[in-house]
């Protein structure tokens, strides 16, 4: 009897050790800060103001990676020159993995064609650290206006040429180009009103000083749900899970606006490839966690996990596509 008890205890201890080992291999202990970043602080530069999609996504990732690695990841907003000021800072920073750029297709793919005198080369000086998310830009209008969908919007615009004022976060911004593309596709004429950031533009849409704007889903989700603005359609290839009733422009008959806007981290090109791969692998594990997926979804964003080489191809393609849109719009900033 005594021997049987001893064997049972030994069997229990072996099973417990096996379970503990399995937990260590698959649980939180698997998280590992890349050796080159041990004991250092990571700075994430957001080249836009607070409150927008770039800022929201950057802060979610900073919080999660900080917990995972037990090192500080600090988000700094450095807006100006359509994102070029913050992007330039990162492009010229030390290529040691401690300074990241939170970029998105609205600056990364548009600015090379929009700005005549760039202080750095967006293609040559920056490389992806990892894709993070895609999300739609939504056409929102003042709630009191007499249209509730794109067909009614277009009919109103045709009957009142030039009387719909569409705000944007600046000349050559995603909002500006999407407005230009819709005008061209629908055969209508609206008036573009550039602002310094999406926050003041939204304020004036809600107040009726301007009639509408194209805004990223995270920056306008709360206003849509509260009824402070009215959403008409989304520029995306598929409907957003956070706004399932909102049709895409493609569904509304304007497929040229079926564009997915991506968000990603970038670092200086000279950053060692091995270090980039280590950080990329850790980022992807964070993006696979259900609470993070849920946080992104609550803001209208979908997680985007892409191999670095494949994502570089997406970046190159978008630089060409958005560059064409810039040239067609005639927008130019010296």
Sheet containing 212-216, strands listed edge to edge, beginning at the edge strand earlier in sequence: 191-194, 165-168, 212-216, 137-141, 230-235
User: Is 17 a residue whose pLDDT tops 80?
Assistant: no
The reported pLDDT for the residue numbered 24 is 39
**Residue 123 φ/ψ, nearest 5 degrees:** -80, -45
Find the angle CA(291)-CA(96)-CA(30) to the nearest 5 degrees: 35
The reported pLDDT for the residue numbered 170 is 81
- pTM (2 d.p.): 0.79
Least confident of 12-21, 205-214, 305-314, 316-325: 12-21
What secondary structure, in 3-state letters, does 23-60 show? HHHHCHHHCCCCHHHCCCCEEEEECCCCCCHHHHHHHH
Mean pLDDT of the chain: 88
The C-alpha atoms of residue 29 and residue 269 are separated, in whole angstroms, by 31
Reported as a pLDDT band with limits 50, 70 and 90, residue 233 is very high
Q: In Å, how far are 24, 119, 283 from 18, measured between CA atoms?
A: 10, 57, 28
What is the mean pLDDT of the segment spanning 108-125?
91
Residue 286, both tokens = 């964070």
The C-alpha atoms of residue 267 and residue 129 are separated, in whole angstroms, by 6
Q: What is the CA radius of gyration of the chain?
A: 23
**Strands, E, within the chain: which ranges?**
42-46, 73-77, 99-104, 126-135, 137-141, 165-168, 191-194, 212-216, 230-235, 261-268, 302-303
The reported pLDDT for the residue numbered 334 is 64
Domains of the chain: 35-134+261-329 (3.40.190.150), 137-257 (3.40.190.10)
Cα 247 to chain centroid, rounded: 20
The reported pLDDT for the residue numbered 265 is 98
Q: What percent of the chain has pLDDT over 70?
A: 90
Reported as a pLDDT band with limits 50, 70 and 90, residue 16 is very low
The answer to whether 287 and 263 have CB atoms below 8 angstroms apart is no
Closest CA to 244 of 231, 228, 257, 262: 231
Query: Tokens 């692998």 sit at which residue?
Result: 281
The reported pLDDT for the residue numbered 260 is 85
Q: What is the pLDDT of residues 119-169, one digit of tens each?
A: 999 999 999 999 999 999 999 999 999 999 999 999 999 999 999 999 998
């Amino acid at each position: 009897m005594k021997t049987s008890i001893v064997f049972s205890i030994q069997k229990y201890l072996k099973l417990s050790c096996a379970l503990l080992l399995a937990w260590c291999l698959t649980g939180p202990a698997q998280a590992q800060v890349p050796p080159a970043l041990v004991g250092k602080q990571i700075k994430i530069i957001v080249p836009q103001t607070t409150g927008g999609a770039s800022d929201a996504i950057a802060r979610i990732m900073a919080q999660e990676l900080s917990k995972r690695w037990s090192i500080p990841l600090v988000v700094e907003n450095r807006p100006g020159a359509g994102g070029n000021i913050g992007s330039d800072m990162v492009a010229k920073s030390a290529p040691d993995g401690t300074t990241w750029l939170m970029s998105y297709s609205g600056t990364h793919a548009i600015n090379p064609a929009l700005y005549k005198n760039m202080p750095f080369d967006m293609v040559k000086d920056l490389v992806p650290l990892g894709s993070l998310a895609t999300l739609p830009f939504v056409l929102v209008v003042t709630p009191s206006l007499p249209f509730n969908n794109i067909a009614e919007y277009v009919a109103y615009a045709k009957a009142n040429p030039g009387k719909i004022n569409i705000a944007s976060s600046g000349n050559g911004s995603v909002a500006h180009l999407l407005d230009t593309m819709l005008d061209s596709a629908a055969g209508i004429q609206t008036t573009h009103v550039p602002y310094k950031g999406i926050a003041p533009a939204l304020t004036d849409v809600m107040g009726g000083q301007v009639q509408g704007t194209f805004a990223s889903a995270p920056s306008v989700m709360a206003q849509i749900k509260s009824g402070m603005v009215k959403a008409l359609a989304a520029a995306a290839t598929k409907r957003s899970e956070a706004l399932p009733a909102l049709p895409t422009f493609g569904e509304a008959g304007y497929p040229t606006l079926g564009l997915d806007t991506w968000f990603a981290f970038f670092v200086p090109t000279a950053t060692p490839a091995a270090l980039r791969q280590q950080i990329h692998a850790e980022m992807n594990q964070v993006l696979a966690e259900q609470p993070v997926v849920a946080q992104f979804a609550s803001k209208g964003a979908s997680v985007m996990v892409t191999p670095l080489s494949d994502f570089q191809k997406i970046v190159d393609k978008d630089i060409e596509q958005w560059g064409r849109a810039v040239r067609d719009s005639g927008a130019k900033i010296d």
